[in-house]
Structure 1
């Protein structure tokens, strides 16, 4: 049996748990905080593989093993690795209070509406994009992905709460700080968790299902759900397939280039992605912001013309390109070269399809597409109905080869 004990947030380890242990594994601070049985071997956790090999040797001889971990070891913790190696039936897990729960408790905030993301040993960009998209996020940090690195990339209007050495009666600190202030400091190794808050929206409605915003009941919203100019908006039939090909999800960054009303941007944000909308007209910029506010989502709006403004944006997972114009091939090329997963292009003009397709394939994406033609029900006098044809739209999508995708998706 392997006993896994959560510690480090104030709860002492029961001496009885350690009694008779022949191998005790844990971080240095956890091992230094307990009195080990005299004959027990101790392993300070560094690289996980050697520790697991040592545990396997002791377990094979039916010798008692205790693993000390931070907080709740089943929450982004060592329980996953132990269960995969030895099976859940061999584990006796005794959880402590997680650092996330402790940090929110220190602030007196509920956290059933928070998103929790780990940047420990993972790409920081995923945590950054979650912080951009959601008003209440807890980030588990790690080397190279601490408060300073996170602060350098999150929106400037957020408040960061850096919780260090939680549970330590002498060293514990919980600091509210701006991203600019956090980015300028060296935080050392004692950070337990960082909370990223949009304080205007930090206390949401009563929840039934835990996690960030409620998932939308539907998407491809009717055009009437958005403010738009002279019906210049991506129609819901086109938007439905575009969203399916974009695949927006929490942790993603999506560009909506030539955003117009921002309908695609807003829908991607409703599905949990961080979104940048690029629009060259001043009235379009205001329209996008109004639509985002009306739907309660964060969309970062960049006022400028593509492809020029794209070079200053963070690398996207997916891109939607709307509109047309002489710059379209250059815009699609710029997007396709930087997209990590996919680019979707909506076109009304047949003449522009070959150039857009060549731009996608020229950047190394595999390309497919479809001509969408739909007819909507429309009333006629006499209580009868006709079909009203919508303008046909070409939808092209380019997908990064699988080898690239596997390298970037967590």
Structure 2
């Protein structure tokens, strides 16, 4: 039997848990905090494979094994690895309070509506994109993916204005008994709450901007980082925990968006474009030549972090208004592609609208950066070959369709006709395994 005990966030370890253990496995700080049974073998967790081999040898001798873990070991913890290796039937799990629950408790916020993402041993970009897309996120950190790296990655995002002064309320708070006072933040901005050494005498809970997080060496004691949009930290009563359910519908009618002279991607085109883009939580999507931002807003509603690139000032204003109207975060960059793309993080998927003379260069620039797919919508037949060549030249498998639709429209006499919409070419390129080399992973 393997007894898995959660500790380290103020949850005490019962005295009888260690009694008779032949092997005790855990982090150095957990092992040092307890008196181990005389004669018990002690294994400090580092690489998991050697520790699991030692556990297996003890189980073969029917020895009692105790594994010490932080907080709730069944929540992004060691229970998954142990269950996969030895089977859940051999586990006696005694959870403690998770670092996520403890951190939210320290600042007096509920967390049933929080999205929890792990950056421990994983690439940071997924956590960054979730922080950009959602107003309440808990990030489980790890070496190379701590508060400094998260803050630096968020600095380019206007939803996390790192240049803002932290203000007098940003001083660290030591100890769970003292009040945690949040500094004022710009509306719609992100603030990071860095919780370190939770449950110990060294506990610290600090509110910082992304810039302040990026400028610090946080050391090894960080337990969890919360990324908050304080204006939406309390979102009402929830029925399902975690990320909100996806929208009940998509490919919304054009009248759900502010637009100019019907210059908007029609819902039929948007429906197929969304199917090919596949936006989801953790993704970053570019909407290039965004116009009204209808594609950007729909991708954000489906959970992706979104950057909309638009050169016209009135278009930029419309995109922001549409994002606000639908309650989503869309980062808007004013400028002309491809030059406006230079400072952006690499996207998972890209939608390119419009069809000017620079379309092949824009599509090519997007294809060189996209990790998964590029979708291009064009009204002009003359632009299709060049756009297709730009996709295939970047190593994408390319396909497409001409969309022609007729909508029901009323006629006098309470009868109905079919009103044709303008035909639109939709091309999409999907990155092939051979073309992934050289793209940031």
Normalising by the smaller structure, the TM-score range is over 0.9
Alpha-carbon shift at residue 231 of structure 1 (Å): 0.5
SS in 2 for 1:323: coil
**318, 331, 347: which one aligns with 1:300:** 331
Which residue number corresponds to residue 290 of structure 1? 321
1:232 aligns with 2:263: yes
Q: 1:404 to 1:273 in 2, by over 3 A?
A: farther
Residues 188-227 of structure 1, C-alpha deviation per residue, up to 9 Å, x if partnerless? 0000000011111111121111113342111111111100
- What does the per-residue CA deviation read over 1:303-356, in whole Å, with 9 as the maximum and x for residues that have no partner? 000001111111101000000100000000000000000000011111111100
Aligned to 1:145: 145
1:60 CA drift (Å): 1.8
What TM-score comes out, normalization by structure 2 length? 0.91
- Measured in 2, the distance between the counterparts of 1:406 and 1:108 equals 46
- The change in CA–CA distance for 1:272 and 1:407 in structure 2 (over 3 A counts) is farther
In structure 2, C-alpha distance between the alignment counterparts of 1:2 and 1:385, rounded to whole Å: 71
Q: Structure 1 pair 21/138, CA: closer, same or farther in 2 (3 Å)?
A: same
Q: CA 1:409 to 1:184, structure 2 compared with 1: closer, same or farther past 3 Å?
A: closer
* Alpha-carbon distance between aligned partners in 1 of 2:319 and 2:400, rounded to the nearest angstrom: 27
Q: Is the 8 A contact 1:265 1:277 kept in 2?
A: yes
**Alignment match, 1:245:** 276
**Contact 1:318/1:342, CA 8 A, preserved across alignment:** yes
Equivalent residue for 1:186, pick from 217, 235, 240: 217
Aligned ranges for residues 204-353 of structure 1 at < 5 Å?
204-353=235-384
1:122 to 1:407, Cα distance in 2 relative to 1, 3 A: farther
Q: Is the CA contact (8 Å cut-off) linking 1:259 and 1:265 kept in structure 2?
A: yes
1:174 lines up with 2:205 in the alignment: yes
Question: Residues of 2 paired with 1:37 and 1:237: CA distance?
Answer: 69
The 2-side partners of 1:217 and 1:211 are apart by 17
Aligned length: 409
Aligned to 2:421: 390
CA offsets 1:341-391 (integer angstroms, 9 cap, x no match): 000001111111110000001011111111111111111112211111111
Secondary structure of 1:55 counterpart: helix
CA distance in 2, matches of 1:41, 1:375: 75
Q: Is 1:375 aligned with 2:406?
A: yes
Q: CA deviation at 1:177?
A: 1.3
Alpha-carbon contact 1:136-1:212 (below 8 Å) kept: no
1:158 equivalent to 2:190? Answer yes
**Equivalences for residues 51-200 of structure 1 within 5 A:** 51-154=51-154, 155-156=160-161, 157-168=189-200, 170-200=201-231
CA distances 1:220-276 after superposition (whole Å, capped 9, x unpaired): 111111000001100111111111111111111100000000000000001111000
Q: Please report the TM-score for the alignment, with normalisation by the length of structure 1.
A: 0.97
Cα separation, 2, equivalents of 1:58 and 1:393: 67
SS at match of 1:203: coil
Q: CA deviation at 1:126?
A: 0.7
Return 5+ residue gaps in structure 2 as ranges.
Answer: 155-159, 162-188
Matches of 1:356 and 1:80, distance apart in 2:
46
What is the rounded CA distance, in whole Å, between the counterparts of 1:4 and 1:120 in structure 2? Answer: 20
Runs of 4+ in 1 over 3 A off after TM superposition: 402-410
Cα offset for 1:402? 3.9
Once superposed, what is the RMSD of the aligned Cα atoms? 1.5
Asked whether the 8 Å contact 2:369–2:439 carries over to 1, the reply is no
- Separation (CA, whole Å) in 2 of partners of 1:305 and 1:406: 28
1:38 aligns with 38
1:404 deviates by: 6.7
Structure 1: gaps spanning 5 or more residues: none
| Secondary structure of 2:340 counterpart | helix
Deviations along 1:1-58, one digit per CA (max 9) or x if unpaired, are: 1111111100111121111111111100111111111111010000011011111111
Secondary structure of 2:220's counterpart equals: coil
Query: Does the CA contact (< 8 Å) of 1:269 and 1:297 recur in 2?
Result: yes
Answer yes or no: is the 8 Å Cα contact 2:2–2:91 preserved in 1: yes
Residues 335, 409 of structure 1: alpha-carbon distance in 2 compared, 3 angstrom cutoff: closer
Contact 1:134–1:213 (CA<8 Å) still a contact in 2?
no
Secondary structure of the 1:17 match is coil
> SS of the residue aligned with 1:152?
helix
Distance 1:148 1:264, change over 3 A: same
